[in-house]
Structure 1
């Protein structure tokens, strides 16, 4: 990844795009007092440098029939690098798994999965846990209400972006 210096305008562009990536280049340029060419160039530079990983539409899970969200703790028998990597690859490849974290201490992984219903969870459990001899323990928690879901990453306050920018250069 290229080293990219981020200034206050870039931070504001990143924040605006996190809130709504469907904004047109023209509206972003007007909002931040930039020419459309400069705004486009800045956003492209942020993408090329890896600050913007991807853009996606966030769907309402209920409207698409995914009514059950599970937070799942998974502990493995063997925690060597190959065993951890093998499970992670399988979990990440499963379309029901939305998030996968290696954690410590406690379980080896925490997964966030969304499925249609409890039979859908049972199919997921069979696919990921039951057939894997290295899975020692699975503890699933089922959401009864989603109080907040926000994929945005907290950004530095406008007064401190230069300190953060220098520490984030690679």
Structure 2
């Protein structure tokens, strides 16, 4: 379940006219932060991203499922189900459903289970969501895209940044280059 602030940030992105992938980025960021905090574990950066995208779709972000052949059929189907779940309205049906009464576990066993899962998460590595792992994932994903696509994205980013934004980015880039040159 996404946090309220994540939903609010995604909603603000939508109001600002930002793309669905930008809105979904808020959910991915939340997942990465959760892994880094040790709230849950993942085996790779790709898994953290997948969980975030799934949450985004279920929260109603209009994120298209991957094209046929881009991923496994199971992944594509899951994305479609998540999108469908996000499109369903809050008022589903007025018909009253009969639900089986579920036995609740005793407080002791619930506390024990909670403690065990917390201890397991403490042993779990957070390396999968490290900045280097996320960078490596981003670079490998970008490398799979054609040069023309990457170039078009860069041009669009530069165009939407504005003169002041471009100037600030250039200054930041110069500082970064100077800092890296100093460390060599």
TM-score normalized by the length of structure 1: 0.24
Going by fraction, where is helix more abundant, 1 or 2?
A: 2
TM-score normalized by the length of structure 2: 0.23
